[in-house]
Amino acid sequence: MNPVININNVTFTYPNEEEPILHNMNVNVKKGEFLAIIGGNGSGKSTLCKLMNGLIPHYYSGDFEGSASVNGLDVATSSVAELSAHIGYVYQDFENQLVQARVLEDAAFAPLHFGLKDYKERAREALRLVELDNYENEFVWQLSGGQKHLLALAGCLALNPDIIVLDEPIAQLDPYHARKMYDVLKKLHEQHQKTIIVIEHHTEFIADYCSEVLLLDKGKSVWKRPVKEALTAIDELVKCHIYPPQVTLAAYKLGERASLPITLEEAEDYFTDQIRQKEPQFYQSELSFQKEPVASFHDVEFSYKTVDRSYNHILKNINVTLYKGEKIALVGNNGAGKSTLMRLLTGFRKPAFGTVDVLGHSTSNQSPEQLADCVTYIYQNPEQMFIEDTVRRDVEFFLKARKRDGYEKKVNEILELFNLTDLQDKDSRLMSGGQQRRASLAIGAAMDPTIILLDEPTANLDIGTRKQLTKFINQLEHHTELVLIATHDMQLVSEWSTRVIVMNEGQIIYDGDKEGLFSNVPLMKKAGIIPPQIVELSHRLRLSPAAYSIESFIDLYHKEEEVAWIT
C-alpha cells in the first residue's frame, strides 16, 4: 500500500539557527496506522509534524532539503490551506486554535472559510464525533481544559481530513479525560478509517491504543516498529529518555527478557502465573501531620467575575491547613479548582469570604509583590513565566529586580542544574515544550521560595528531565518549607507525595494519604483519577499492601514469602 505520508531525506534548519534540527529524515506512514512518535524533549517530534502540515517550509522558511508529500501532495508546492483538507493538526498549545466565542461557531470556522455550504452540518458531525454535541451553544471559555482540547480536534474534523496529527493530546488532561480523548481517537481510527499520528510521552497509552511507534533521537529517526516490539526495547528507550510502561519495566527488572507485558491485562496474566496465593492483609490508612502550619484556608469561598458581570462560584467552603515539611499533591478533574486554590496562596486572587493565611499573615492585607518574596507559583503554561528575550535573562529577572548579591553565580548554577546552559541565549518562546517547562522551573528555583506551588510540572517532560525535576524538588525541600503540586500525573503522586488533597467542583472531597486514595474506587471515579499502572496491577493481583513504585513492587515480589496475595 502507498504511504499517505512520505518524507524523503529531509534536513531542516530553523531560520537564524546554525544547526539542523532534522537530519536526513526518512519516514513513511501508511493509511490506517495509529502511529505514536516518541523521543526525548527537543528531539524534533513537533518539528517533524510541522513538516507534515506544511508549516515547514511555508511558515518556518529555514534551510530545507529533501522532499515530503501528504496524500500525494508535495508539501513544498502545496499551500498550508490545501494540505489542511488532508491533514488536521491539534497543536500542543491547542487553546490558540480556538478562535470563535461559541462552540458550534468555532467548529464551523474552517469549513466556513473554505466556502463549504454544508459548514454547519460538518461542524455538528465533528462535535458529535468528539461527543460535544450537547455543548454547541456554550461559550468556548466555559469549557473545561479537556473539552477545549476535544473542540480543537472537532475544528480539524470539520474538514474531514484523512490524517489527524495531535501533539501531546493528553499532557494537561486528568486521567479520565485522557482516556476519553484516546477513546475518541480509537473510534476515529477504527470506525472512520482515519490515520492517526500522536506525539506522546505516556507509553502506557501508546500500549493500549497505538499500532506503530516511531522513535526519534537528536533529529534522527532511530526506528519505526510495531508497538509491542517498540515498547519492549527497554534499553533503547531509556537511552533516548523514554519511560517504558511501568508494568513492562517491572517485569524487565525482574529479569524477564523474552515476553515482556506492555498492557495491564498482559501484566495481570504474566504476574498471576508467577505468584503464589495467600490470604491478604488489609491496609489501614493513617496520616501523621507535622504540627507547624505554613498556610491555611478558613471558610474560604471564591468566585470569578464573568464577562456578563455575573459570578462564577468556584471554591466552596475550603478549610484546610498545610504544614511544614509536607509533600502535598493537589489532584482532581479538569476545572475542579486546583489552580484557583493556588492563586489564592499567591495573593493574585483574594477570597470573597473567609481568610487565607500564609506564614501567619492574612493574604488580604498583602500585595502579590510582598507575597512573592516567600511564595513562588510556577504556571501550568510555561510561556506565562517568560518576560525577557533569552532564557538567562528570564532566570535572572527576579534576582536582579530584588538586587540580590552574587546573583550571577546562582544563575549559572541553576542553568546547569536544569541543563539549560547551552540554551541560555535562546528566546524561551522558541524552545520545545519540554525545554520551556525546564526553563519555567529554573525561573521558580531562582527565587528561593519558602513555599513553592507547581502547577502540572511534569507535563511534556521526558524521563531525563523528570528525574531532574524530582532531584530539584528534593533539593528544594532542604530550605523550602512547603511544596504543593497540582497534578494529573498519578505516578508522581504515588512516588512523591506524603499527603493528597482531592478537589471536585470547588470542594475538598478527600484529604489523606495516597494509600487511602488509591484504594477508594468510588472516590477516584468521582474525581476522574485512574491510579498508576503499578498500583492498579497490585490491586488486580490483590497484593496487600499495594506497591506504589516499581521499586516497591520488585521488593515485594522478592519478599514473596512474606507478602500476601490472593487470586
Ligand X SMILES: Nc1ncnc2c1ncn2[C@@H]1O[C@H](COP(=O)(O)OP(=O)(O)OP(=O)(O)O)[C@@H](O)[C@H]1O
Residue 431 is a binding residue for ligand X (CB under 6 A): yes
Nearest to 457 by CA among 470, 448, 447: 470
Is the Cβ of residue 122 or residue 437 nearer to ligand X in the bound state? 437
Q: How many CA atoms lie within 13 A of 443 on its CB side?
A: 30
Window contacting ligand X (CB under 6 A); options: 104-112, 117-125, 294-302, 426-434: 426-434
8 A C-beta contact, residue 153 and residue 507: no
In this structure, are residues 83 and 138 in contact, taking their beta carbons and an 8 Å threshold?
A: no
At closest approach, how far in Å is the CB of 212 from ligand X?
Answer: 18
Q: Is 424 in the site for ligand X (CB under 6 A)?
A: no
- Residue 17 sits in the site that holds ligand X (CB under 6 A): yes
195, 340, 458, 491: which one binds ligand X (CB under 6 A): 340
| Edge-to-edge strand ranges of the sheet holding 3-13 | 22-30, 3-13, 63-70, 73-74
C-beta closer to ligand X: residue 19 or 561: 19
When CB distances to ligand X are compared, the closest residue is: 434
Report 263-282 residues binding ligand X (CB under 6 A).
none
Pick the stretch among 107-115, 116-124, 389-397, 429-437 that binds ligand X (CB under 6 A).
429-437
Told to check if 373 binds ligand X by CB under 6 A, we report no
What is the spatial distance between Cα 85 and Cα 141, in angstroms, rounded to a whole number? Answer: 27
Give the span between the Cα atoms of 140 and 150, in whole angstroms.
11
User: Alpha carbon of 101 to those of 33, 106, 141, 479, 561: distances in Å?
Assistant: 34, 7, 8, 46, 62
The verdict on 497 binding ligand X (CB under 6 A) reads no
Q: Which of 312, 367, 384, 421 binds ligand X (CB under 6 A)?
A: 312
CA distance 108 to 268: 45
Instruction: Note the helical H segments in 282-359.
Output: 338-346
What secondary structure, in 3-state letters, does 429-490 show? HHCCHHHHHHHHHHHHHHCCCCEEEEECCCCCCCHHHHHHHHHHHHHHCCCCCEEEEECCCH
Candidate ranges 264-272, 329-337, 446-454, 516-524; the one touching ligand X (CB under 6 A): 329-337
Q: Is 434 in the site for ligand X (CB under 6 A)?
A: yes
Q: Are 397 and 388 in contact (CB under 8 A)?
A: yes
Residue 195 contacts ligand X per CB under 6 A: no
Quote the least distance from Cβ 270 to ligand X, whole Å.
Answer: 30
For strands 353-358 and 293-305, give the pairing: antiparallel
Regarding beta strands 327-331 and 499-504, do their DSSP bridges make them parallel or antiparallel, or are they unpaired? Answer: parallel
How many residues line the site for ligand X (CB under 6 A)? 34
Residue 54 contacts residue 74 (beta carbons within 8 Å): no
Which residues pair with residue 10 across a beta bridge?
A: 25
Task: Evaluate whether 283 touches 513 at the Cβ level (below 8 Å).
Answer: no
Q: How far apart are CA 323 and CA 247, in angstroms?
A: 34
Q: Minimal distance in Å, beta carbon 292 to ligand X?
A: 27
Per-residue binder mask for ligand X (CB under 6 A), 507-546, x = binder? ----------------------------------------
259: contact with ligand X by CB under 6 A: no
Pick the closer one to ligand X by CB: 88 or 337.
337
The answer for 498, left when phi > 0, alpha when psi is -120 to 50, beta otherwise, is alpha
Any contact of residue 318 with ligand X (CB under 6 A)? no
Q: Which stretch binds ligand X (CB under 6 A): 75-83, 259-267, 398-406, 433-441?
A: 433-441
Binding segment for ligand X among 294-302, 330-338, 414-422, 554-562 (CB under 6 A)?
A: 330-338
Asked if 20 is part of the footprint of ligand X (rule: CB under 6 A), the reply reads no
Question: Is position 46 an interface residue for ligand X (rule: CB under 6 A)?
Answer: yes
Answer yes or no whether residue 351 interacts with ligand X by CB under 6 A: no
Query: Which C-beta is closer to ligand X: that of 110 or that of 152?
Result: 152
**Which of 94-102, 327-335, 368-376, 534-542 is the region at the interface with ligand X (rule: CB under 6 A)?**
327-335
Q: 20, 36, 44, 70: which one contacts ligand X (CB under 6 A)?
A: 44
By CB under 6 A, tell whether 145 contacts ligand X.
Answer: yes
Element containing residue 206 per DSSP (H, E): helix 203-209
Q: Does 432 bind ligand X (CB under 6 A)?
A: yes
21 is a site residue for ligand X (CB under 6 A): yes
Task: Return the range that interacts with ligand X (CB under 6 A); candidates 37-45, 79-87, 178-186, 412-420.
Answer: 37-45
Q: How far apart are CA 289 and CA 286, in angstroms?
A: 10
- Residue 365, SS3? helix
Q: Pick from 161, 245, 261, 335 the residue near ligand X by CB under 6 A.
A: 335
Binding pattern for the stretch 435-464 against ligand X, x by CB under 6 A and - elsewhere: x------------------------x----
Measured over all CA atoms, what is the biggest interatomic distance in the chain, rounded to whole angstroms? 71
Residue type at 97 in one-letter notation: Q
List contacts with ligand X (CB under 6 A): 14, 17, 21, 39, 41-47, 60, 144-145, 304, 312, 314, 332, 334-340, 380, 430-435, 460, 486
